[in-house]
Structure 1
């Protein structure tokens, strides 16, 4: 009887462990926008490492200082210890008889994303890495977006208190470090002051508004004109009569296709400045096509953080924008 009871207890424990990953996997570690590459030192110092550093080291569009899309570090397979296996973003590059590209989640820790790349020799690995470059970057960025949004959920604002969002029928996951600047019912402006370091006089900002969907074929070419009109109306400088936010005239923004809440959208990255003043910084704009309601929903993030790197601030704004849900 005692033996049966022990076996029953052991079975319950095992079922509990298998049924809930929290009992099995430790919490992952690692900075946002950072990937650890597991590969031989000879690979890292050769063509394979050069290809990885070049692809991950591509500069993020729209930033005033050069900053890579993703930061990368390397560890040899024999150094891939238990502590290293807790990294949140990992890419494992190996030689093997068969070509393989795959993604697994929560293997050694959670949340965790591991990309596996395998080919028979150096040339084949470089070729495969080139072919999958954009997909690999998108996988890790999407992983970090989801991770960041889950962090924000822990201290999220009650967005139902903003009349503009209620009128537009949209919601976002926004941390409570953001404070209200303006909420007209048609236009929302939230701001987070940066509290530490040399950037403590700066801020991160979120704008939300909508415009009628008149001609879908002209959305992309009108994005700058629309944001400049909003800047003139709603984002004044220190002298409201002569100063307001505009798109920086010396830098042409880049626009890409995107999807927000399952809807076609345009992602525009560029630089803003204040007309007749010296304030400037990067912006990230999403123009989301809401055909059901015959409108464009625009969510924009912009940051003012003089003299410091801004990738992390823009990424935070991206995570907030991509959390948008349309009712």
Structure 2
């Protein structure tokens, strides 16, 4: 199958592309830089130049492929409105290009804010609709295309997709610990984050393309929830720093923008996904990655 992948050289995308190629798929990746293009070509993938704002390139990539996997996101925390608008426009463009074709359209989403007081499940619908919502309400927008002949599948990733080379949430917490001299956790540290290793997330993308029915929501979750105090303790061990509670009123000042997320309970299950795809995560746990030095360099 010829698969067009946005975010193909990104953290999850590069793992997914490697897995897709290993399974014999032909891959064309969207690349916005020479470095990204070179990395894709070195793996054996084709390159389409463009970025998330280049809707013409995205449309052409979708039209010329047998399937689309949309993993790109600006993640611009200084201008979330622009990030959300770009995400929605890209999803609308891909969906429009695939109407009536029955082709697979897999897109990245997340497990945040799906439920309250319990782990989120695949049955929980996103409550985000419209352009002003997080990610521009892209999951619900994409799923609307199922009724228009598009084989949409939502890929909901855990808040931390961890591993050596990660530059996401955990890497940010490690950097904050280095800067402040302490590894902090919010309040009593009892709130939890779901987690998955990058290799397992990449494998789930390939399996989702092969096996998931239209309209499916998949959860890329290996650990239902790791307490934030446990995360902070592992960071403290890795950096040989003291571990301390950060009072609720001091969370924003200590952690900055990530404090809001680190104080949330972001738990999710993946029982339905595992059974549907025969997906069994085999990568290291988050704490194992921290304890074995995946985040210690730098």
TM band (smaller chain): under 0.3
TM-score (norm 1): 0.24
Which structure is richer in relative contact order (CA contacts within 8 A, separation 6 or more)?
2
Highest CA radius of gyration, 1 or 2?
Answer: 1
TM-score (norm 2): 0.26
Higher strand share: 1
